[in-house]
Chain A
């Protein structure tokens, strides 16, 4: 017997596994599939769905594979007549609480329920649907359809602000957005959604989706029909994840293919949001250098994650002055297009329809912020998530796997490596530090790789030495709101603990965003991240301030502070709770 290992027998196959593993984990590692719906490697085990029941020799009743820990000599049967029959009826009970709306579902290409239905010969309509009349609600860009919900509670657990709550008892149980009103006496806090969409990517049955996820994706083409010029920008994280929807390996880079696909869909120009990320970096680094030199408000927080900004605006308005005033790359690109680019190609900016492709659901919310308008125009007219673009490609028979890659358009088609790593947790920090160093020291870092802020840990910290000022800049990076709150707690106790902080609401940053392809777990997110670091490493230019487009445009176009301010900067205000709207059906979401 090896230390730390035990021998178990699964379906007559003898395998050696780690002592602390559950049957589910051990099976998964050895390529044996045990069905499961409420099981998600990101989450605690709840054992609610009862699909992973297996027979263990010597026990009276079947055991849940997600809870039972392996033991030496354990004999496990994951299938067989008895267990399959029980699973079949368990599934039929689940189907009877899940209204089928398969053509309009985020899992339409890889639905687990349908897969199991086939495997266990399920009669999907054995019992009448019992949730037909349940409410469908929309809050911001998120639509929650209780008629599909199987009460597994993954969303309740994953929600970073506990906005989704379990209501009622027994068969009347339901998950609802929080309607709690603040009450100091009862210690009740009002809660609001921050639109991160983690509930969407952790719901096993597609009960939650983005507003208009299937119904409104074609809107940009209507604009084109009305004579608009269609311009696309796509975010860094899209390039290392969209391939998944077309059977490509996790982390495969598809920048050129996405570009080609977008042109085929009818886009006249395709640009890279990583380039506007370079603008963000330079602007933000200047702001940070200024705050440090002039004794401004520190720590400074990044603001490119709209969920994080919403969090501060709703939950921590005391921290509003700490947010950088620099706009996010998505918005800066929109602004550049409607000013500099429109002038360059000599068209009225109102003729441009700017569509961004984002790994994020909150970006939809960000794009509708009125304070971002430039000459009464929204910088970005329409936001598609990575998932929505994938579905559009499929609908229009564009196969990313076979399409020939094409080059992005000028002038915003050549990002620095720093702009590309914006898509992963720590990337904004690393990009900014490379430029801050230059701004403060007048020379570039010898090695651009800042390993301490890379990787999948929830909180990453480092001390950046700035020799010229004889000063150390203390920085921290958090991914996921739980980690963000930990950092905030440190700050509440010691406001000068850090000088600069990057926060992303989603695990691993934007690669783990709520608009990304399904399924997702830590391994998948890591591969998407690594691909971005690979691109950065292979880039000729790795520093935002060395990107010639950025320097040229900043120097020669944005000659007045007013113009620069209208495109690059913004402000924040305390926000009231988002209205919860009741919908008649999930296809009627309000944009």
Chain B
């Protein structure tokens, strides 16, 4: 059975959550047996800057993705599946996907908000027609997701991998997005445990200048310097290369915070107020009050309602730990 195969494969959620896929599938299967109904969602919201591998996969392997979704529908005897698409993807891939879907119970759904809609509980609120805001967990989507029923929600790439696993063609690779100051940006397939430095080498992207990288998302990903590039990528598979001399860290922080300022939902204090204050401080002409920035980041990292706020703290803190701020 497929769940056994998933377990053997060691496949983890390709959104960057790295949660063992088979555990989710089994949880939904179990919950479904209790209530008799469940849903499947393919998450193609892909809203984080510097992450564009789902777009590449939808473009290149749409059949594999739909096949993966169909396997899930069959395995779970699901009512129906939704493909939750970022607006531009919806426009771009609607025709192709609908053609492949044919009469299968798979519905395309155009995103109603921004980045936050990629967060699984926000996505569900969005589908139901509520404000795009995260839900309190527990209950988890596997127990009470869409319309209150158990819901399996996986990333585009995860469904692609499921299809490959079922066909016996899976070899523990994943898709990496490389961008920033590189010669050869794009999406590349490599083993999931390949060191960051080697990926840059192999794609002919290793810079000759002094650089640092942001790994795991272009806003929420952590910063890594040369000495750390023996690590594999954790989280979302993106690598952004920055010129260490040219890049003004404060500009970089400003870029991130503007992104968060536009994308946060306003539900909880740390995000609504903390992001506002960070933006206020970063936008001002005055030199940064670093202890206060750190204090606000700590509140964001520890007190936020959902992963978005925690992400703000993660990238900023990792930058502040590694790179010295210019005046």
Residues on A lying within 8 angstroms of B by beta carbon are 45-50, 53, 61-62, 67, 85-86, 89-90, 93-94, 96-97, 126-127, 130, 150-151, 166, 168-173
Contact = CB atoms under 8 A, between A and B. Distances in A.
A97 B273 contact: yes
Contacts of B261: 170-171
Contacts of A93: 269-270, 273-274, 277, 296, 299
Contact of A90 (B265, B270, B292): B270
A382 B303 CA distance: 47
Interface string B292-306: 100110110111110
Contact of B266 (A45, A47, A127, A171): A171
B272 A90 contact: no
A256 to B, nearest CB: 46
B312 to A, nearest CB: 12
B268 A170 contact: no
A171 B299 contact: no
B255 interface: no
A203 to B, nearest CB: 16
B268 A47 contact: yes
B136 A45 contact: yes
Given A151-B272, A170-B265, A172-B266, 14 more contacts: A45-B136, A47-B136, A47-B268, A48-B268, A48-B305, A50-B268, A53-B303, A86-B299, A89-B299, A93-B274, A97-B273, A170-B261, A171-B273, A173-B266
Contacts, number: 81
Interface in B279-322: 280, 292, 295-296, 298-299, 301-305, 310
10 contacts: A47-B268, A48-B268, A49-B269, A53-B303, A127-B277, A130-B276, A151-B266, A171-B264, A171-B272, A171-B273
A50 B136 contact: no
B269 A90 contact: yes
Contacts of B298: 85-86, 89
B302 A53 contact: yes
Interface hub of B131, B295, B298, B304 (most chain A Cβ within 10 A): B295
A151 B136 CA distance: 17
Interface hub of A67, A85, A86, A168 (most chain B Cβ within 10 A): A86
Contact of A96 (B270, B277, B295, B303): B277
Contact of A48 (B267, B280, B292, B296): B267
Given A94-B273, A96-B273, A171-B266, A50 B280 contact: no
A166 B131 contact: yes
Contacts of B268: 47-50
B263 interface: yes
B202 interface: no
Interface of B: 131, 136, 261-270, 272-277, 280, 292, 295-296, 298-299, 301-305, 310
A85 B299 CA distance: 9
Interface hub of A61, A96, A166, A170 (most chain B Cβ within 10 A): A170
Contacts of B273: 93-94, 96-97, 171
Nearest to B301: A61
A92 to B, nearest CB: 9
A213 to B, nearest CB: 27
A126 B298 CA distance: 16
Contacts of A50: 268-270, 303-305
Contacts of B131: 166
B275 A171 contact: yes
A138 B312 CA distance: 38
B303 A171 contact: no
A94 B269 CA distance: 7
A477 to B, nearest CB: 32
A136 to B, nearest CB: 20
A150 B268 CA distance: 10
Closest 5 pairs between A and B when the two form their complex, measured CB to CB: A173-B266, A93-B273, A171-B276, A50-B303, A170-B264
B251 to A, nearest CB: 21
A53 B270 CA distance: 12
A127 B280 contact: yes
Contacts of B275: 170-171
B111 to A, nearest CB: 14
Contacts of B292: 126
Contacts of A67: 136
A168 B266 contact: yes
Nearest to A95: B273
B303 A86 contact: yes
Interface hub of A61, A93, A172 (most chain B Cβ within 10 A): A93
Contacts of A49: 268-269
Contacts of A97: 273
B135 to A, nearest CB: 10
Nearest to A93: B273
Contacts of A130: 276
A188 to B, nearest CB: 14
B316 to A, nearest CB: 15
Contacts of B296: 89, 93
A89 B263 contact: no
B264 A47 contact: no
Contacts of B295: 85, 89
